[in-house]
Amino acid sequence: MSELEPIIPNIEVTDPRSALFRTAGFAMFVIDPADAKILVANPAGERLFGLSGDAPVASLETYLSIPKSELLNILHRAAEVGVLEIRDRHAPIGDSHRELEFHGGLVQWDGKQCLLSTAFDLSQIHGPNGWSEGTSFDPLTFLPNKDLFSDRLEQTLARARRTNEQFAVLILGLDRFKQLNETHGHTTGDELLKLFAERLRGFVRETDTVARLGGDEFVVLVTALQDVAHSAILAQKILRSLADPFEILGVDMRITVSIGIALYHPELTAPGDYLERSDAALSVAKQEGRNTYRFHTETLDDLFRTEVAIGTDLHHALDDEELTIQYQPQIDLRTNRVVGLEALARWSHHRRGQVTPSEFIGVAERTNLIVPLGIWVLRQACLQARIWLDQGLLPDVMAINLSPLQFKDQQLVADVRGALGESGVPPERIELEITESVVMESMGGYHATLARLRSDGIRFAIDDFGTGYSSLKYLRSFPADKLKVAQEFVSGVPEDRNDTAIVRATIDLAKDMEMTVIAEGAETAAQVEFLRALRCDQVQGYYFSQPLDPDQATAFLKERK
C-alpha cells in the first residue's frame, strides 16, 4: 500500500492547504479510511455537510445511506487501489435526500495515508428538466423548495395588499412518515413522497404553488380564493383522495396527512408569518388525532372581527347606495342566444373598495341582514328587467339568488309579489335561484312558500347543484325548472375524470327530469365545446361574459340580438 503514489501527482494542487482546496466552488474533504472520519473540509464541503468552525469532526457515514460497515469496506479498498468512487442516490443531507457523487485519491495528511475526495451534489445539477435548476427545486420531487415558495408567497402577499385578493397557505405533514421510513426503508419512503407530490399537484390550479418544505412536509399556496371556505374544501379533497393507496413496487401503501391552514390577513406582511401560523395549525391537527385539517385559530378570530366590521357597515351600505348589481348573461348552446341574465350583488365599500359577495353574503346571512339585502336585490333586478322589457331586450328570464334564510321570513311571498307588482314584470320572466338545502326543506317548512310562488308562475333554478347534500328523492318532490351545475365541477372539465363524470351525470339527470341544465363558470372554449357535446343546454361563464353593469349589459344584449 505504501508504495502507491497519490493519484494526482502535483502535490501543490492536492495539498489540502492549497489555494485550490480553499477556493474551489465544489466540496473537497480529507477522510481517514480507517474510521471514515472527515478530517478537514473546504468551505464548499462545510456548506454541503453543514459543518461549522475550523475543527469539523464528523463521520462520512452520517451523510450516506449505506451502512457503516459497507462504507469502511469501500474506503479500505480505495486506500488499497488509490481510487475512491462512491455514488449515493439517497444521501441524507439536511432535511432531504440528495444524489451525491464522490471522486478521490490518496494523499498524505499529518503523516497518515488518507483520501482526498471531491463531492458533487448531482441533484442540484439535474433539475426536473435535466439541467441546473439552481437551488429552487426539491431534488426528489422536483417541486419548488422552501425558498422558491417564499418568493411566490411574497408576490402573492404584495398582490393581496393591492387588491385584497384572498389566499390560503396549507401545510401538510405526512402522518407517521418516520415510522414508515424505518419499517419499509428509504427507497420506499422516497417513492411515496414522489407519488404523494404528484397527486397533490393534481389538486391545484396552474396558478397555485405546491412546494416541499423538506422531510415529510409539503405546502400549498392557494391564490385568488373566491371564498375562504374553499381552502377547507381543498383540504377535505386531499384527505379524501388518500383513501386510494399508492402502489410502490407492486405493493399498496396507504398514508394519511394532517393539514394546517392560515388565511391572508392584511396585517401579516412576512411570508414567515403564514408558515408559522399554518405550522401551528398543523400541530393542532396532529394533536387532535391526525388525518384532519385545522385553521389557525387567530385567523378565525380575525375573520370574526372583520365580519363584525362588515356587518356594521352593511347596515349603512343599503342606505348609502354602496350596493349595486351586475348581470351575467346565460347563453343557449344550440342557438347561441342570450336566454337569461343572473343578477349578482356588488358592494363598493367607501374604504375597503370592492367587497365580493363571498365575503359579505355569508356575513349578511349570519347577521340576518340578508333579508333586507335580498329584498333590495329583488326589487332592483325587477326594475332593471322592466327597463329591458320595454326596450325589447329582456331575455327569457332574469335570475335572482335567494338565500335559504329568506325562506324563514314570513314576508317572502309578499315581497316577491310586491317587486313584481311594482315593476310590472310578468312572473314567468323571473327565475329564483335556490340552494339544495331549500329543496330539502321543501318537504317540510318551506313547502307552502315554494308552492305559492310557483303557482304565481315564477320559475325556479337549483344553484350550485352537486355541492349540497340533496338526495334525488327531494329533487323529485320539488320540480325546479333548471339545474345549475356548480362551477366547482365545470372547472375540471374535460381533464378531471371525476368532475367530468359528475357533470355528465347531472346533465343526464336534468334531461330525465325534463329540466333545463346550465353549466356555471365555463371559462374556456374547450369547456364549452365539451359541454355542447354532452348536450348541456346553456352556459354561464367568463368564456361568454363576465358579470356586467347595466350599461354594459345593455350593449351586450343589443349586440347579441
Query: What is the C-alpha separation between 405 and 245, in angstroms, rounded?
Result: 42
Counting residues that bind Mg ion (by CB under 5 A) gives 5
Counting residues that bind ligand C2E (by CB under 6 A) gives 24
Q: Does 165 bind ligand C2E (CB under 6 A)?
A: no
The secondary structure of 20-47 as a DSSP string is: HHHH-SSEEEEEETTTTEEEEE-HHHHH
Between 401 and 545, whose beta carbon lies closer to Mg ion? 401
Torsion angle of alpha carbons 368, 369, 371, 372, nearest 10°? 150
Contact of 96 with 138, CB cutoff 8 Å: yes
Q: Does 475 bind ligand C2E (CB under 6 A)?
A: no
* Binding-site member from 79, 275, 344, 493 for ligand C2E (CB under 6 A): 344
Between 356 and 367, whose beta carbon lies closer to ligand C2E? 356
Contact of 430 with 342, CB cutoff 8 Å: no
* Binding-site member from 521, 530, 537, 553 for ligand C2E (CB under 6 A): 521
Of 31-39, 355-363, 443-451, 493-501: span binding ligand C2E (CB under 6 A): 355-363
Task: In angstroms, give the least distance from the CB of 344 to ligand C2E.
Answer: 4
* Binding-site member from 380, 401, 449, 506 for Mg ion (CB under 5 A): 401
Q: Return the one option of Mg ion, ligand C2E, none that residue 339 interacts with (CB less than 5 to 8 A, by type).
A: none
Between 409 and 436, whose beta carbon lies closer to Mg ion? 436
* CA neighbor of 493 nearest in space, from 450, 466, 530, 456: 530
Q: Does 362 bind ligand C2E (CB under 6 A)?
A: no
Of 118-126, 150-158, 302-310, 401-409: span binding ligand C2E (CB under 6 A): 401-409
* Binding-site member from 99, 216, 433, 499 for Mg ion (CB under 5 A): 433
Query: What is the C-alpha separation between 440 and 147, in angstroms, rounded?
Result: 49
Between 120 and 376, whose beta carbon lies closer to ligand C2E? 376
N-term to C-term CA, the chain? 95
Strand duo 251-253 + 246-248: pairing: antiparallel
Of 35-43, 198-206, 302-310, 396-404: span binding ligand C2E (CB under 6 A): 396-404
Query: What is the C-alpha separation between 75 and 114, in angstroms, rounded?
Result: 10
Count of Cβ atoms closer than 10 Å to residue 500 Cβ = 17
* Binding-site member from 138, 463, 499, 537 for Mg ion (CB under 5 A): 463
Between 8 and 233, whose beta carbon lies closer to ligand C2E? 233
* CA neighbor of 310 nearest in space, from 296, 323, 291, 329: 323
Task: In angstroms, give the least distance from the CB of 165 to ligand C2E.
Answer: 13
* CA neighbor of 204 nearest in space, from 286, 263, 143: 143
Of 33-41, 307-315, 352-360, 395-403: span binding Mg ion (CB under 5 A): 395-403
Residue 143 contacts by C-beta under 8 Å, 6 or more apart in sequence?
137, 197, 201, 210, 211, 212, 218
**What stretch of H or E contains 326?**
strand 323-332
Q: Return the one option of ligand C2E, Mg ion, none that residue 553 interacts with (CB less than 5 to 8 A, by type).
A: none
Cell numbers representing residue 460 in the block: 325556479
Residues of this chain, 300-339, that bind ligand C2E according to CB under 6 A: 328
* Residue that is written with C-alpha cell 488518507 in the block: 114
Residues of this chain, 504-523, that bind Mg ion according to CB under 5 A: 520
**What stretch of H or E contains 196?**
helix 186-201
* Binding-site member from 36, 174, 228, 345 for ligand C2E (CB under 6 A): 345
Interface with Mg ion (CB under 5 A): 401, 433, 463-464, 520
Interface with ligand C2E (CB under 6 A): 328, 344-345, 356-358, 361, 374, 377, 401-403, 433, 463-464, 487, 520-523, 540-542, 547
